[in-house]
Amino acid sequence: MRRFAFAGRTCVVTGAASGIGAALALDLARRKAVLALVDKDAEGLARVASSAAELGATAVHTYPVDLADGGDRLDLAADVASRHGGADLLVNNAGVALSGSFEQVSMDDFDWLMEINLRAVVRMTKAFLPQLLDRPGAHVVNVSSVFGLIAPAAQVAYATSKFGVRGFTEALRHELAARGVGVTVVHPGGIATNIAANARISGPDPDGTQARQAREFAAASLTMPPAEAARQIVAAIQTRKPRLVITRPAKAADMLARLTPSRYWDVTRWLERRRSR
């Protein structure tokens, strides 16, 4: 399969108002892409669209859509087809986090997270697939997480969704291998976005402890600039890389899970105890 050329190609990016999605939009703009940007944050989306236009995007259109609403996205896909002739690249990047153990998390909150992190990925891909199959050299990128490689305690909902994205993407890649559509799954870890700090708290948090811990975790552990993550994702698209793991900690977690798939959590806790001495 040929390298992906971005200039003049229509690129759909979800979660485009901030973090990795916004950084991807700006990187693609510099490459003269046509952008269809999706996010529920209309104001943030407008700011990113304005910057993308200044950086040289061939065209930019925004879609203030809440992916938690369960829509089938056929209307969104139809609008992209009408305005731009169809999508050449679909990046399913939008995601949310949920704080609390499985015992604490309500089913409403669990379903909310699954709708955005997994079902929206499936719905968007289903809606845009006819266009992608009709565009020579099209590509799909689904952003999973380091927690699609390992599954820590207190991350049951998030890991469930991200392992789901991983499985969906790998199976889709195998289905589309002979159809001319490239598929990449991305496993970032430690990117400086607001996802942890903005995590929904499920269950009681009367003194704000869980919220404070989420902010402290974000400040200490999420350090790679989103622009660098975007650069690596764009390079992976260009070279049709099937799998991308971003940051050294994520790569270490991936290797640990491969070496000891049933004991990696015990090893992780042992290493953490040694570091804290």
Segments of 65-196 assigned E as strands: 89-92, 98-99, 139-143, 182-188
φ and ψ of 210, to 5 deg: -65, -40
Tokens 């209307």 sit at which residue? 75
Where in the sequence numbering do the catalytic residues fall?
158
User: What is the predicted pLDDT for the residue at 86?
Assistant: 97
Is pLDDT of 182 > 70?
yes
The pLDDT tens digits for 196-241 are: 555 566 655 444 445 444 444 434 456 689 999 999 999 999 999 9
Superfamily of domain 10-248: NAD(P)-binding Rossmann-like Domain (3.40.50.720)
Residue 155 Cα distances to 52, 98, 113, 129, 130, angstroms: 34, 8, 12, 31, 34
The pLDDT tens digits for 231-242 are: 999 999 999 999
Which residue, 96, 106, 39, is CA-closest to 66?
39
Q: What global pTM score does this model have?
A: 0.91
The sign of the torsion formed by the CA atoms of 253, 174, 229, 162 equals negative
